[in-house]
A and B are shown apart, each in its own frame.
Chain A
C-alpha cells in the first residue's frame, strides 16, 4: 500500500514535466571486479572459526560518470556491505575496485584520505547517523575540518550555503540534531556528505527509515542536487519503486551475488532473471483493477554462511533445470547493456 502511494507520487513528479537532464557520458567512474567479502564466524565458547559468511560474492559491475545506479535486493543480500567496501570502511577480502581508473584497494594513508573527499555516503538511520552531542553546523562542517579545506568564517559560510541547498534554515546550525525530524536529519546527512563535493555518492537505503511522503521529498532533493553537483549516485535500496524512477540502471543482488544488471526500463519491463521477476511481481500497483501474476518463491532464503551450490537461487527458483544445482551461472549479456546470470535464457 505504501509503495503504491510512493509510486503515485513519483508518477506525479514525472507528469509535472520535470525533465531532469543529467549529463551522462560513457566515461567509467567506478569499476568493480569480482569483489568479495567474507566474515569469519566465531563460535561463542570456542575460539576456532566455525565457517564464513559470504556477504559479497564475486560481484562485478561498472558505473558511469553522472549516472544513477540502483542496487536492489532483500535484506541481508549484501548490498550494504558492498557499499561500505567501496568506501573501504570494510576491507574486501578479494577482488578489485577501480575508481576513475585507479586501484583503490592498496592505497597509502594519505591517498586514502584524499579518496575520502571524492566518495561519500549517506546513511539509512537518520537517528543514529548524527552525533547527538554535536551541533548541526559542526556535523555538516566536519568534513571541511578533517580535510583542512576551510575553517572559521569561511567554513561557516560554506555550511550555511549547504544547509540552504538541502532546504534547511542556516539558523539551524546551532541546534542539536535531536530537535529535528527524520526527514530533516537526512537532509543534514546529505549536507554533510555533499559539502566535500564528492564525485560519487553512495546512498545506503537513505529512505527506508522515512515516512512515505518524506521519501518523495528526499528523492526529489537528491535528484535536484545531482543535477547541480554532477555526482554519480549509487543508490542501495530494497524499495523497488523508489529505485525505478531515480536510476538510470539497476542491479539486482541475491545472497551476495549480482544476478542481473540492466537499464532501469529494461529491468522493470523485461526482467530476465527469475528472482528479478519474482521481486517485481511483488510490487503492488495503485490500480485495483489490474491483475498481475504474483510469483511466490518457495522456501526460505538460505543462510549466507551456507550458500547453495551452483546457482545461488536454484533452491527457490520455479524454473530451475538440472544444471542450476551444479554450475554457477556467469553474468552474460542477454541484450545490449542487459546482463543476467541465469542458465535459462528466456524473458
Chain B
C-alpha cells in the first residue's frame, strides 16, 4: 500500500494523542530506569570508596570521604538523594577537576554532537545514493561492488579504520590534522571513520527497502503513466522506502553515540565520550555518571522524536 497522504485527519487526532501520551510515559519510565542503572553501576562492588580513593588513604581519610559522599547511608537513601540531584542537574563535583560534573559534560556536548551529526551526514550522503543505485540495478557489477563496500564497512572496527586513516592521510600524505578540534579539517577524518560503520548498514537497508518497493505494483503504474525514471525513483519509490531507513537511522544514532566514544579517544576530539573515558581512568565517577546519563537521555529523546515522526509519516501507525 502506498503511503499517500501524511495529513493527520480529524478522527485520528485522538488516537495519535493517546499514542504519544503512552510513548511519553514509556520514556519517563525508561529515564527513571536509566538513573537506577547509572546509580547501580557505581555501587556494583558494594562500597565505592575503594574505587575512588587511592590505596594509601588512611582510615580517617576513608571515613571522612565516606561521610562526605554519603556512602555511609543506606542504599535506598543514597538512591533517592542521587535521584533528587539528577532532577536538579546536580551530579556532584568532579573529583578531578573540582567543577560540577554536569557542567563538564555539557561543555563538551557540542563537540560530540558536531562529530555525530557530521558522521551521520557523511554516512547518509554515501549510503543512500549507493543503496538506491544498487537497488535500481540489482545483481549487476554496480550492485556487487556496492555490497562489498558495505560488507567491508561493517567489518572494519572504528578504532582500526581511524588509525588507518591517520596513517594514510596524516603520516604518509600529511594532508589532515590527526588530533584535536580545530576547524573543518580536523573534523573530516573522525567523521569519516565514525560514519563508515553506519554507512554500511544504511546501504544494505536502503537497498533492500528500495528493492521491495520497486517491485510493487504502484511503481509499475507510475512507469506506465510515462513518468521519467528519475521522478519515479526519487519521488515515488524512495518516499515509501524511506520509512525503514528512518527507523534504522534512529537506531544508528545510538550506535554512533557509542562509537563516538572511541573515535574521540583516537583523534583526541574534546567531546563527552573522551571525557567519559578519561573519567573512568581517573576514577572520577560523578563525571562518569553525568556523561552516561546525558548520552542515554539524548538517545532516548531521539527515539521518541523518531516515533513522533513516524506517526506523521506512516498513516498505518495511527491505527495501532
Q: Is B230 engaged at the interface, CB distance under 8 Å to the other chain?
A: no
Nearest 9 Cβ contacts at the A-B interface: A44-B320, A45-B18, A45-B15, A45-B19, A45-B320, A44-B319, A45-B22, A46-B18, A44-B15
Taking CB atoms, residues of chain A closer than 8 Å to B15 are 44-45
Kindly state the separation between the CA atoms of A44 and B16 in the bound complex, as whole angstroms: 11
Name the prevailing secondary structure of the A interface residues: loop
Kindly state the separation between the CA atoms of A45 and B320 in the bound complex, as whole angstroms: 7
Question: B2-38 interface mask toward A, CB cutoff 8 Å, 1 = contact, 0 = none?
Answer: 0000000000000100110010000000000000000
Interface size on A, residues (CB 8 A): 3
A45 to B, closest residue via Cβ: B18
Nearest CB on B from A94, distance (A): 30
What is B's interface to A at a CB cutoff of 8 Å?
Answer: 15, 18-19, 22, 319-320
Taking CB atoms, residues of chain B closer than 8 Å to A44 are 15, 319-320
A-B contact pairs, 9 of them (CB 8 A): A44-B15, A44-B319, A44-B320, A45-B15, A45-B18, A45-B19, A45-B22, A45-B320, A46-B18
A46 to B, closest residue via Cβ: B18
A-B contact count (CB 8 A): 9
8 Å CB interface, A41-61 against B:
44-46
Kindly state the separation between the CA atoms of A46 and B17 in the bound complex, as whole angstroms: 11
Nearest CB on A from B293, distance (A): 31
7 new A-B contacts, CB < 8 A, other than A44-B15, A45-B22, are A44-B319, A44-B320, A45-B15, A45-B18, A45-B19, A45-B320, A46-B18
B14 to A, closest residue via Cβ: A45
B20 to A, closest residue via Cβ: A45
Nearest CB on B from A46, distance (A): 7
Nearest CB on A from B288, distance (A): 39
Nearest CB on B from A48, distance (A): 12
B15 to A, closest residue via Cβ: A45
Question: A20-49 interface mask toward B, CB cutoff 8 Å, 1 = contact, 0 = none?
Answer: 000000000000000000000000111000
Nearest CB on A from B102, distance (A): 36
Taking CB atoms, residues of chain B closer than 8 Å to A46 are 18
Kindly state the separation between the CA atoms of A46 and B19 in the bound complex, as whole angstroms: 9
Taking CB atoms, residues of chain A closer than 8 Å to B319 are 44
Kindly state the separation between the CA atoms of A229 and B77 in the bound complex, as whole angstroms: 72
Kindly state the separation between the CA atoms of A44 and B12 in the bound complex, as whole angstroms: 12
Taking CB atoms, residues of chain A closer than 8 Å to B18 are 45-46
Nearest CB on A from B134, distance (A): 33
Kindly state the separation between the CA atoms of A46 and B319 in the bound complex, as whole angstroms: 12
Kindly state the separation between the CA atoms of A44 and B15 in the bound complex, as whole angstroms: 9
